[in-house]
Structure 1
Amino acid sequence: MQSAMLRGSAVSGSSLRSSGLRSSTVSRAPVVVVKAVQDVKGIVVSTSMQNTVVVSVERLTPHPKYIKRISKTNRFYAHADEATKPKLGDYVRLEGCRPLSKTKRFKVAEVIRVAQ
């Protein structure tokens, strides 16, 4: 409830001023950033840790100067329990979750394609 109030007041702060309220009544509280939960797909590149896999996710972005599309790779740590334990080379879908450790912010939702 409070985070929604903070986010709402941060987004519509200019409309509060235009509606006749003085700027001293506008909240100066820090803005709460709400990130959307992501679903990403990638290839498992490491399974050497307990209950953790490393997934390499590749995406295409335009080069800032030359506009040609280049591939960028991110490596995400994901939690994998015994029910969804992927193997090296599997193509998996990750879904965002609460922080499980310093670097783990995803969990393995499903194995889309098994490696040959």
Structure 2
Amino acid sequence: MGRNRTTWESRSTWNGGKTTLIRVPIVLKSDILAYARAVDSKLISDKSRIIPMLKGDFLQEFTLGLIERYIEFKRHNYHPNQNSRKLDTSTRAWDELRKFQKLVQESPELLRD
């Protein structure tokens, strides 16, 4: 016996509750889903920034924004030690993050499927 309905009950993986089906251009699908997941998980909460953030490559801007937020978080929660009084992101410990940041800025296509 086949289905006679086009919807079915299932557990949502979205924090926001019920979902709906929308039609979007295929080329925008991954960016729109990434943005929706970010909003749903509260990574983006300032709704006034929605329109400006969609200019250009959203995933690139989103990733660079997260890196900046992480650095600011570390700077705010930094505890001075005998080696330095303030956070220094030019040290060797930050090399990989700087490499990743540069890759996202200059060659994000290398990270795509």
What is the TM-score when the length of structure 1 is the normalising length? 0.22
Decide which structure has greater strand share: 1
- Higher Cα radius of gyration: 1
Larger RCO (CA within 8 A; separation ≥ 6): 1
Determine which structure has the larger helix proportion and give its number: 2
